[in-house]
Amino acid sequence: MKYVFSALLSICTTVSANNAVIEPILQPIPGNDTQGLPSFLMSKYEITVAQFRQFVSDTGYQVPKNCMAFTEALWPDPEKPGRWDLPALIENPYRPVVCTGVQGAIDYAKWLSEKTGKSYRLPSAQQWRHAALAGKSGRMAFADDFQQSEICDYENTEDIANIAGMKKHHQVRYKRSAQCNDGAVYHTVVGMYRPNQYGLYDMVGNVREITRTCHTFNKSEPAQCEQYVVVGEAWHWQPRGVMTPDWMDTDFQGGIEGFRLVLESDKVEPLSVATQDFIEKLKSAQYVQQQVHAQMQTIPASPKGLSAKAIDNSRVELNWLTVPGDEVRYAVYRALSNPSSNEATRFTKVVDKLTQATFIDSTLPEKIFARYQVFSYNSVGEGLGSEIVTFGKAKHFSSNERIEVEHFFTGLYYWVSKREKATIVGFSDNPDHFPTGVKPHKPAWIRLGFKSEQARRAELTFRAVSEQEASFELWQGMHLVGRYDIPAGDKFVIQKGMADLIKSNAPLEIRMDKPQWFELDWLEFK
């Protein structure tokens, strides 16, 4: 992928003059004396397809065709790699270029430097973070926004539009996102949202950005970088905060990674003719894209106020607040726990295409515990589901019987599935599906109805599996029953440990300890 610039430039068709080169539109970034960081200039936008295409056309540069591309038709898959110039990725030349990898970004900066006589390069991680925070402290320049409700005004992030697109295009339903709708499913035209206080756009969203800072050097070749620091979260993840460390392999070609450039100078020079033309065409592209975003922002909000009440022994009435919007429809999902048969089910759709904010479930078996969730949608897409409500009495276990954990009555960051003919509960260590870097600590947990008639020390037996060593805690209310390890493996194993039970009616909580996913089948005290 590397090339000798002088040789290639002598045999390739060159851009006729500097005025034909689209340069980054630069913003002055003040330095920070405390950090020993001089002032510099930074591209206000991520480098676009139009800019990178000039480089490839001028040099014949070959980008590896092994990109983990993400489009309406492609889910990242090493068996079905993409490339930077897939039609879906370049049809709009004002979106950020992706799939270049680290070397492609470095080589573009070198080419641009030779064409213009200016020393363009990737920003250091320090420069990028300083610029992204724009003199502020906290998670992001505009606000900490822990509720993820304001970010859609500033960034293209994982949001309601993204959730709808993943389900519509890939039949994947993520359970969480920002509590807003930025109008974009994938990466979008640069500069569509509010800039930060330094005049920089898309610093936390749209695409992750490659820096020149090395995260991990090769142990045998200390000058060779194996992993580079990447920054921002892109459209596919909720932001963890500007200062959160993250990285990617040097040879990785990512469909969610792009870059911007810096110029270590205080002098802002006049724009080239090509750059001025780019700015005008970008304005038109932004206007067109705003119409697309506006359409996506008609996706209905999540249903609120869901309630369940009994009509008689076999019928339950669900009601929720009407979701505003045109041609809004509703789908109702249900999960069951049958104490008598000891069977439990995952959420499955029981009714669809409802036009009213009410539903009577007349297919409910007697003496059953049910959980319900309602989704609203229209022709554009489906957003996040309602809060889960329950009906009936959950199974209540005694300390002398086997506890089938799928009969829980509440929980967080879990999944229910079938394994080896058994219904199991999985505990996620990464509910926000971050690929690398420092991940937020969000322990998964579930609670089961439980009663211990006396305080006693017992032997706990459980059946579980985890790819890596994992552990969990058991709690009776505020009392810690014990912590238990699960060995690494690809098959369910039966493990044992000691448990200190107290006399209590408090629910039994199973809570992730180490941040490592695991699946659990049953527990038993002896």
Digit-coded pLDDT (tens) for 247-288 = 999 999 999 999 999 999 988 899 999 999 999 999 999 999
Unique residue bearing structure tokens 């020079």: 269
Q: Is the pLDDT of residue 7 over 50?
A: no
Average pLDDT, the chain: 93
Per-residue DSSP letters for 151-172?
A: GGGT---S-HHHHHHHHHHH--
pLDDT of residue 438: 84
- Chain CA centroid to CA 514, Å: 21
Torsional sign, CA 259, 263, 268, 274: negative
Q: Is the pLDDT of residue 14 over 50?
A: no
Mean pLDDT, rounded, for 195-204: 97
| Spatial separation of the C-alpha atoms in residues 9 and 390, rounded to whole Å | 68
Mean pLDDT, rounded, for 147-174: 94
Q: Is the pLDDT of residue 73 over 50?
A: yes
Mean pLDDT, rounded, for 90-118: 97
Unique residue bearing structure tokens 């990898």: 101
Query: 51: how many CB neighbours lie within 10 A of its CB?
Result: 25
Q: Is the pLDDT of residue 15 over 70?
A: no
Q: Is the pLDDT of residue 498 over 70?
A: yes
pLDDT of residue 428: 95
Mean pLDDT, rounded, for 146-161: 95
Q: Which of 17-21, 133-137, 220-224, 521-525 has the highest mean pLDDT?
A: 521-525
Q: Is the pLDDT of residue 10 over 80?
A: no
pLDDT of residue 66: 95
pLDDT digits (tens, 9 = 90+) for 237-256: 988 999 999 999 999 999 99
pLDDT digits (tens, 9 = 90+) for 46-61: 999 999 999 999 999 9
- Ranges of each domain in the chain: 26-267, 298-393, 396-525
Question: Exposure of 303 by Cβ count < 10 A (0-12 exposed, 13-18 middle, 19+ buried)?
Answer: buried
Mean pLDDT, rounded, for 220-227: 93
pLDDT of residue 268: 87
CATH numeric code, 26-267: 3.90.1580.10
Unique residue bearing structure tokens 């045999």: 11
pLDDT digits (tens, 9 = 90+) for 307-342: 999 998 779 999 999 999 999 999 999 999 988 787
Mean pLDDT, rounded, for 151-171: 95
Mean pLDDT, rounded, for 409-438: 91
Percentage above 90 pLDDT, the chain: 85
Assign a CATH topology to domain 298-393: Immunoglobulin-like (2.60.40)
pLDDT of residue 18: 65
Helices (H) then strands (E): counts for the chain: 7, 28
Q: Is the pLDDT of residue 8 over 80?
A: no
CATH numeric code, 396-525: 2.60.120.260
Q: For residues 9 and 181, which has the higher predicted lDDT (pLDDT)?
A: 181
pLDDT digits (tens, 9 = 90+) for 371-391: 999 999 999 999 899 999 999
Residue 161 contacts residue 168 (beta carbons within 8 Å):
no
Mean pLDDT, rounded, for 452-477: 97
Mean pLDDT, rounded, for 421-449: 91
pLDDT of residue 2: 41
Helix (H, G, I), strand (E, B) or coil at 116: helix
Mean pLDDT, rounded, for 463-467: 97
pLDDT of residue 267: 87
Going from the C-alpha of 313 to that of each of 377, 391, 392, the distances in angstroms are: 31, 12, 10
Give 506's DSSP letter: P
